[in-house]
Every structure is written in structure tokens, then in C-alpha cells.
């Protein structure tokens, strides 16, 4: 991740998860962004992924961490927390950096364990001071 931008291959992996589970763009956009009309963001990310695969210039918006988090949240809502955690673990192979892997792992944490993981991460960060 550079300047909050995540490698588009992570989106491609999420898109394949959505397709495997029969998730339609409209319902994914509604779950992720709150409005079905924003399904064009998903189409735009697909175009960006194709352009990058074909080594073409693409001037569209970046695949930001926030967009990634929203899309993962939407998928989690649609396919269930347990299924999403399993699928996110598969995404790790597509992440290029340790920071991307850490962010993806954080997104896979079940809601019930978030506080415990936050305490652990704070301890690690605080140790650095």
C-alpha cells in the first residue's frame, strides 16, 4: 500500500469471491456503500484491473484502503462473517507487502475478537515509543 492505495489485484480477488458466491454488483454496492447506484464504482475497479493486467494506462480513481474496507465489509455482510474470514485468508497470497497483509488480516478479524486484537496491536505499537 502506497499513500493509502492498495494493489488492484486485491480487488480482483474480492471480485472473484463475490462471483463465486453469486453476489450481484447492485447488492454488493448497497451493502458496501449504502446505495445501489454506486455499483459503478465496482465496474470502474474492474476496468482498472483489466487495464493494469493489459499494461494500459488508466486514469480512473485509485483503489483506496477505504474502498477496500467498504467492499470487504459489504461482502462480509452478504456472505457471512465466517465465510468472509476464510476468503480473506485466501487474499493474503495476492498482497504484495507485509502492510497489505496486516490490513487484510485486520479486516478478517471477527467482530467478537476486535477489542482483544486492538489491545494486542496497541501493545506492539506502544512498545515502539
The pLDDT, as a whole number, for residue 3 is 62
62-73 pLDDT, tens digit per residue, is: 898 889 889 988
**pLDDT for 1 beyond 60:** no
75 Cβ contact partners less than 8 Å away, ≥ 6 residues apart: 14, 17, 18, 21, 23, 28, 31, 32, 84, 87
**pLDDT for 29 beyond 90:** yes
Amino acid at each position: 500500500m502506497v499513500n493509502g492505495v492498495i494493489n488492484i489485484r486485491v480487488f480482483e480477488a474480492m471480485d472473484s469471491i463475490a462471483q463465486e458466491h453469486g453476489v450481484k454488483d447492485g447488492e454488493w454496492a448497497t451493502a458496501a456503500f449504502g446505495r445501489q447506484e454506486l455499483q459503478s464504482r465496482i465496474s470502474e475497479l474492474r476496468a482498472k484491473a483489466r487495464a493494469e493486467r493489459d499494461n494500459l494506462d488508466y486514469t480512473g480513481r485509485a483503489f483506496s484502503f477505504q474502498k477496500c474496507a467498504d467492499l470487504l465489509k459489504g461482502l462480509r455482510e452478504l456472505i457471512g462473517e465466517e465465510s468472509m474470514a476464510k476468503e480473506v485468508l485466501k487474499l493474503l497470497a495476492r498482497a504484495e507487502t507485509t502492510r497489505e497483509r496486516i490490513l487484510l488480516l485486520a479486516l478478517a478479524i471477527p467482530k467478537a475478537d476486535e477489542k482483544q486484537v486492538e489491545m494486542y496491536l496497541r501493545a506492539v505499537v506502544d512498545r515502539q515509543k
